[in-house]
Amino acid sequence: LVVKKTATADIIEVVDRINAYVAEKQGLLPEGLRISVANDASGPVRNRISVVGSNAIIGFVLVVIILIIFLDFRSSFLIALSIPTSFAITLIFLPLTDSDINVVSLAAMIIALGMIVDQSIVVSENALVYYRDQRTKREAILEGAYEVVVPVVASVLTTILAFGPMFAMSGTMGKFVFVIPVVVIASLLGSIFNGFFILPNHLRHALPDTAPQGEAQRSWQDRFFDRIAIPYRRILPEVLRHRYLAIAAALALLVFSLFWARAMMTVNLFPPDGAENFFIYVELPEEATLNATEEIVAEIEEEIRALPPEELRFYTAKIGTATSDELAQPVGGEENLAYLQVSLVPFSKRDRDAGDVMAELRERVLAREGILDRTRALRFELQKPGPPAGKPIELHVHGDRDADRLAVVNEVVAYLEAYPGVSDVTTNHKLGREEYKLVIDYEKLARTSLTVQDVASTLRIAFDGIRATSIVRNNEEVGIRVRFPIEHRQDVRNVLDLTVRNPQGNLVPIRAFARLDTTRAETAIHHTDGDVTTTIYGQTDIETPAQGVINRTVADFSETLRRYPDVRFSYGGEAEETQESMQSLLMAFVGGVIAI
């Protein structure tokens, strides 16, 4: 039973109600039956809420500690209060943008955590400067706030402009990260409100009426930073004196960092970090029975149960389907297919990541005696956290000529299977069960004065039958259907012995102008923009970027495509999403820099 919530429902509340219902009904079941919750999607959300809560507490404490080094304890505490104040304003603002509290918005709050105290620090420090200059408390706070309005607002605007271009990101990633700039911008606006309207009132009540005078107003922080300022005062004039050299060094460092990043770093917008689930897809030959598929699944389940109990949370298996989408295909459609879902405990509670667990399980399953001989395909696929982006490798091969297209597909599959870091290569080119094809020699058929329609009608009548007459039985009309006896219909070779009456009244056996060939047709023919398309899928490890694999494959097969001019490549899935997102992000970055 699959339970799906509406877009506006609270996932934690929904899951809690389901768990309560299951617990209530558990005791009413007959002996031997039980209900178990196999997949709790609220887990990541609960974990993020816990992370945000703990990060907020830790951040609050660290901010206070750091501020105490620079300011007095009283001011530090008041500045730290901007964290809950800004987040409260953010939570008020979120519903106005049709956003809610989810994994991404909670992560965005963690991002904003370190930025929302900056405005309060500037306002508070500037007010304290005037306060120590023997101004009245009211004058010091007002002058200190007024003086930094423009630079503080400008600083916040530049940060907003840095995050604002994320609204322009396209593709699945753009929809996924849309809430990040919403949360960050709302938090920054909340921090401005706190810094200029709430903090001054706190300072008014917290500061003594008169500031200490003389050496008494110098704190240990002042004396500490006086010592730090001595070497700084020596270095700064030298940097200013050789300003062009300093600028050149900074630019050189920037260029070096870009080349270093290009050489040493990979772009992976959909990393597997934190993954908790993976799937095992099983495909046997088409003639396999349900029992044969069940035997293979039982062997895989045996290996799954051997996983350490501190890593395995649950697993499920379904026989008769090859999709993990419960609503995409009814179970029981194909007896030779099955899939298993393995769910691990949260990443924070285990030592190994899901990729390592899956790799070990794959090795153990493939090592079982005879399992590769009894299966046509056995694929392991990690369910990465984040937005649905398709398979890491999703290469489309277009071409209306089946022989040319499939020749290229076979070459690419062999190439990817040998590619380091690529695994579980498969295609959507699936052949159905063995079938017989009646191949007609049209010249011989023409000499008999018969047509294809004559032959087809005879075959249909022989196997499906035709209503010849009817009788009345118990005042009801009962039709009489005439067709081949069952023993003749069970042997397809009898088709060639069928005779077809031609216009001259002669009975012509089908074997006189046709033959029976054994073949296996495709279960489905896929089209893209009018072209017949075969798609190649594959998985990559964490050190192998999918976009790099696609680019290398397309480049290495340029010569092959010249031999098959009617065949062309395109790609989708994770590689397409990565390219689309990176292009839009680059344009947004340039726009953001110009705006700043």
Is 50 exceeded by the pLDDT of residue 327?
no
Q: Look at residue 275 in the predicted model and tell me its pLDDT.
A: 78
Q: Look at residue 267 in the predicted model and tell me its pLDDT.
A: 62
Which range, of 78-87, 395-404, 548-557, averages the lowest pLDDT? Answer: 78-87
Q: What is the DSSP letter of 566?
A: T
Q: Which of 421, 423, 395, 419 is nearest to 409 (CA)?
A: 395
pLDDT, mean of residues 375-387: 79
The pLDDT-based confidence of 56 (bands split at 50, 70, 90) is low
Q: Return the H-helix or E-strand segment holding 343.
A: strand 337-344
Distances (CA, A) of 584 to 279, 501, 548, 550, 577: 32, 69, 19, 20, 11
Q: Look at residue 323 in the predicted model and tell me its pLDDT.
A: 64
| CB-based contact 329:342 (threshold 8 Å) | no
* Residues forming beta bridges with residue 393, ordered by sequence position: 538
Alpha-carbon gap, residue 152 to 156, rounded angstroms: 6
Residue for token pair 């700084």: 232
The pLDDT tens digits of the residues spanning 407-429 come to: 999 999 999 999 998 888 888 88
Q: What's at 270, amino acid-wise?
A: F
Is 80 exceeded by the pLDDT of residue 79?
yes
Q: In angstroms, what is the C-alpha Rg of the chain?
A: 36
Tally Cβ neighbours within 10 Å of residue 442: 10
Is 80 exceeded by the pLDDT of residue 434?
no
Alpha-carbon gap, residue 596 to 574, rounded angstroms: 32
pLDDT, mean of residues 218-237: 79
Alpha-carbon gap, residue 375 to 283, rounded angstroms: 6
Alpha-carbon gap, residue 306 to 360, rounded angstroms: 11
* Mean pLDDT of all residues belonging to the chain: 83
Task: Output the DSSP codes for 547-558.
Answer: HHHHHHHHHHTH
The pLDDT tens digits of the residues spanning 197-225 come to: 998 988 888 777 776 665 555 666 667 77
Residue for token pair 């300003």: 243
Q: Look at residue 577 in the predicted model and tell me its pLDDT.
A: 73
pLDDT, mean of residues 376-405: 82
Residue for token pair 């920054």: 188
The pLDDT tens digits of the residues spanning 19-53 come to: 888 888 887 888 888 888 877 777 777 776 777 67
Return the sign of the alpha-carbon dihedral for residues 514, 520, 526, 532: negative
Q: CB neighbours of 424 closer than 8 A, spacing ≥ 6?
A: 379, 380, 381, 537, 538, 539
Is 90 exceeded by the pLDDT of residue 541?
no
The pLDDT-based confidence of 324 (bands split at 50, 70, 90) is low
* Residues forming beta bridges with residue 439, ordered by sequence position: 515
pTM over 0.75: no
Residue for token pair 């999703």: 394
